[in-house]
Amino acid sequence: MKPLLQKLTETFSPSGYENAIRAVIRAEIEPLADEIRVDALGNLIVRKGQASKNGKKIMLAAHMDEIGLIATHVDENGFIRFTTLGGVRPHTLLGGRVRFADSTPGVIGGERITDTTKAYTFEQLFIDIGAASRKDCPVKVGNVAAFERPFLDLGKRLVAKAMDDRIGCAVLIETLRGLKITPHELYFVFSTQEEVGIRGVTGAAFGLDPDLGLAVDVTGTGDTPKGNKMEVALGKGPAVKVKDGGMIADPRIVDWMIRAAEKAKLPYQREVLEGGTTDARAMQLARSGVPAGCLSIPCRYVHSPSEMVDEKDLQNAVKLLTALVSAPVELD
């Protein structure tokens, strides 16, 4: 799965500009789909299977977009001020490299500060593309950029920008690729604009009106020095979300996921995330409501240019998701 993950993470596609990553994913899954379409918000929707007598319509979602930057002003010397697309943190930016949609590269610099104990604010940062003047700068107000980072293979651990949520996309692709039989009508949704308000999946969930929904996304960890006090760590298996900052997972979905993991003898963790949320929130609130949950991939340094995951967690997430959708679903 490493070559697939490298291809996905190195593709430029910030929120609202998902064309490139949608084309990459479509090329991977088109031979596997019974039906494939793109909706008005750019979501890639893939149907697999037809529901049997005891089957359900199940929606599986992973978002394609990544966090990014958008130019707000170019000064007379060609330096670019910016704001964010999604939850970018200023302390992760200084000295980082970015690339605009037209392939223009740049480096993030900062104004001189006298108190080095304080982090930069967004207002103190700018992008330098090597231009000498505003006229010399090809970047215009409204142009978007994404982090420029190569995929890094550390053996068991993998590092890249946009693991959030290209790793979820990889899990859906590999599940679709390895799925042999299912009693359900499955909809694999590669959603847009999750990082700027869970927008794409909101329309997709309304249109599909599933019997149940499951997001696949990253979650933070508590396994770094003086890190968050959180019972999730790399290498201990995918996490079953119980609650995050935007939703309480349906307890029946949580139990269903845990039963499947234990039956398949797969490692898993229970996740309570104090901040942030996923596409599962929108699925849960669609129409008159949908039982929803989330399969989470532990990830260090979320929303930074270098997000880290464990390859075994990725593999076990695929195994668990495959087990979940290959058998009848009984929600007690």
Question: Distance between CA 12 and CA 68 in Å, rounded?
Answer: 10
Please answer whether residues 259 and 268 qualify as being in contact, where contact means their C-beta atoms are separated by less than 8 angstroms. Answer: no
In terms of Cα–Cα distance, which of 62, 37, 32, 61 is closest to 48? Answer: 32
Among 28, 66, 174, 194, the active-site one is: 194
In terms of Cα–Cα distance, which of 289, 307, 224, 295 is closest to 256? Answer: 295
In terms of Cα–Cα distance, which of 277, 244, 263 is closest to 319? Answer: 263
Amino acid at the residue 54 = N
User: In angstroms, how far is CA 129 from the centroid of its own chain?
Assistant: 28
CB-based contacts of 21-28 (< 8 A; 24+ apart in sequence): 21/64, 21/65, 21/166, 21/169, 22/64, 22/190, 25/64, 25/169, 25/173, 25/190, 28/4, 28/173
Count of all residues that appear for the chain in the document = 332
Is 194 considered catalytic here? yes
In terms of Cα–Cα distance, which of 201, 224, 316, 219 is closest to 270? Answer: 219
Our CA angle for 10, 14, 16, nearest 5°, is: 140
Question: Distance between CA 281 and CA 174 in Å, rounded?
Answer: 24
Amino acid at the residue 61 = A
Question: Distance between CA 217 and CA 315 in Å, rounded?
Answer: 14
Active site residues: 194
